[in-house]
Amino acid sequence: MSAHGVAGRAGTVRLGSGPGSPTVNRLGYGAMQITGDGVWGPPADRDGAIAVLRRAVELGVDFVDTADSYGPYVSEELIREALHPYDGVTIATKGGLLRTGPREWHPCGRPEYLRQEVEMSLRRLGLEQIPLYQLHRVDPLVPLEDSVGELAALQKEGKIAAIGLSEVDVPQIQAAQAIAEIVSVQNRFNLADRVHEAVLNHCEAAGIAFIPWYPVATGALARPGGVLDEFARSHGATPAQLALAWLLRRSPVMLPIPGTKSVAHLEENVAAVDVTLSDEEFTRLSAAA
């Protein structure tokens, strides 16, 4: 699948260094928005959610990112219904956030909880092994070494293939790397919000895939007459497409996962792979932000 489809034109990134590590197209799909309002409960349009997932794969998207907390559980269940047995598609999920209601998220990195969530995600996704399992948040009440150590144990048992982290700093990545190979880091990052530049640079140096969440946020940069608006018009593209093109240009380990519940919006996002920024455009966009 990775060699075909529009998304394949984004180039690829490898998730890990082992012989069985998957190589995926550098534009994935984030499956948070296919749940209900507040990332809680089922979507208003279940058939529409299924259609978006299937259309993503038709367009060459071969990396789908989800989490047990999306719904909770709803996103994983929809992914199985739409895409199982995942021929050529790498499924990544996350654990470590408890849900108590719409827009309510609470870190829980206790080893026994993570083990339980891995077992439940395996069942919901219909997998014998999760290709990429990510610690959704570092729990301030649990040593990072304990949380990552449990994921490493699950990896040795064959229940997860690779380990990733989310919303971490460089020292936390280094602490985790001392326990297990870390193949991905998922932090908030976009053209207008680059607080995690140091993390991205560390990932690039270490060959770790960097998965920016909230990737198409543009803020005031998209205002009429601004540099993003100017370049979007010159390319016949949308500001969101320019924001994705900038991310793809920013680093070879960048793996954006824009999410949407609309097929039309999905197709717009994937078309960003055909927007090529000149050196001057990339530099001006970077400086403007």
70 catalytic per annotation: yes
Could you give the dihedral angle defined by the CA atoms of residues 246, 252, 258 and 264, in that order, rounded to the nearest 10 degrees?
70
CA angle 208, 130, 255 (to 5 degrees): 35
- Find out whether 119 and 158 touch, Cβ atoms under 8 Å: no
Residue 227, amino acid: V
Q: Are 260 and 266 in contact (CB under 8 A)?
A: yes
Sheet with 163-166, edge to edge strand ranges = 29-30, 63-65, 90-95, 132-135, 163-166, 182-186, 209-210
Which tokens sit at 8?
A: 């394949």
Question: Catalytic: which of 29, 70, 73, 133?
Answer: 70
Positions annotated as catalytic residues are: 70
